[in-house]
Amino acid sequence: MSAPRRRPVTVLGLGVMGRALASALLAAGHPTTVWNRTPGRSAALAGTGANVAGSPAEAVAAGELVVVCLLDDEVTRRVLDEAAPALAGRTVVDLTNGTPEQARRLAEWVTARGARHVDGGIMAVPAMIGGPGALVLYSGGQDAFLDWRDTLAAFGEARWLGTDPGRAAVYDLALLAAMYGLFGGFLHATAMIRAAGVPAGEFAPMVTGWLTAMLGELPAMAAAVDSGTHDGDGSSLRMQAAGFGNLLAACRDLGVDAGLMRPVRDLLDEAVARGHGEEGLSVLVDLLHTGATGSPGTARSSG
Ligand code: FVH
Q: What is the Å distance from ligand 1's center to 69 Cα?
A: 6
Q: How confident is the model over 62-99, as pLDDT tens digits?
A: 999 999 999 999 999 999 999 999 999 999 999 999 99
Distance CA 80, CA 78 (A): 6
Summarised one tens digit per residue, pLDDT across range 147-170 is 999 999 999 999 999 999 999 999
What average pLDDT does the structure give for the chain? Answer: 95
Q: For residue range 107-152, what is the model confidence (pLDDT) as tens digits?
A: 999 999 999 999 999 999 999 999 999 999 999 999 999 999 999 9
Report the alpha-carbon angle 67-22-179, nearest 5: 75
DSSP, collapsed to helix, strand or coil, labels residue 118 as: strand
Each residue of 193-225: b (16+ CB within 10 Å) or e?
beeeeeeeeebeeeeeeeeeeeeeeeeebeebb
Percent of the chain with pLDDT over 90: 92
| 9-47 tens-digit pLDDT | 999 999 999 999 999 999 999 999 999 999 899 999 999
Confidence of residue 303 (pLDDT cuts 50, 70, 90): low
Ligand 1: residue of 69, 96, 180 to mutate (most ligand atoms within 8 A of CB) is: 69
Q: What is the pLDDT of residue 4?
A: 72
DSSP for 243-286, written as a single string: HHHHHHHHHHHHT---TTTHHHHHHHHHHIIIIITTS-GGGHHH
Q: Which atom of ligand 1 is nearest to the CA of 71?
A: 24
- Tell me the pLDDT band of 2, cut-offs 50, 70 and 90: low
Please give the pLDDT value at position 293: 56
End-to-end CA distance of the chain: 57
Is the predicted pLDDT of residue 291 greater than 80, yes or no?
Answer: no
Atom 31 in ligand 1: which residue has the minimum CA distance?
Answer: 75
Atom 7 (ligand 1) nearest CA? 122
pLDDT in tens, 231-288: 877 899 999 999 999 999 999 999 999 999 999 999 999 999 999 999 999 999 999 9
**What is the CA(112)–ligand 1 centre distance, in A?**
25
Range from 111-115, 177-181, 196-200, 299-303 carrying the lowest mean pLDDT? 299-303
Residue 216 has pLDDT above 70, yes or no: yes
CA-17 nearest atom, ligand 1? 16
CA of 72 to the centre of ligand 1 (A): 7
Residue to mutate, 70, 95, 176, 179, ligand 1, most ligand atoms under 8 Å from C-beta: 70
Taking CB atoms and a 6 Å cutoff, what residues make up the pocket around ligand 1?
13-18, 36-38, 41, 69-72, 75, 79, 96-97, 122, 125-126
Cα–Cα distance for residue pair 47/231, rounded to 1 Å: 60
pLDDT at 173: 98
- Predicted confidence band at 3 (pLDDT cuts at 50, 70, 90)? low
Reduce the DSSP state of residue 166 to 3 states and report it: coil
Q: What is the pLDDT of residue 232?
A: 79
> Ligand 1 center to residue 190 CA distance, Å?
30
- Does 302 have pLDDT greater than 80? no
What the chain holds in terms of domains, given with CATH numbers, is 9-163 (3.40.50.720), 170-288 (1.10.1040.10)
pLDDT at 5: 86
Q: Compute the average pLDDT of residues 49-53.
A: 98
- 0.75 surpassed by pTM: yes
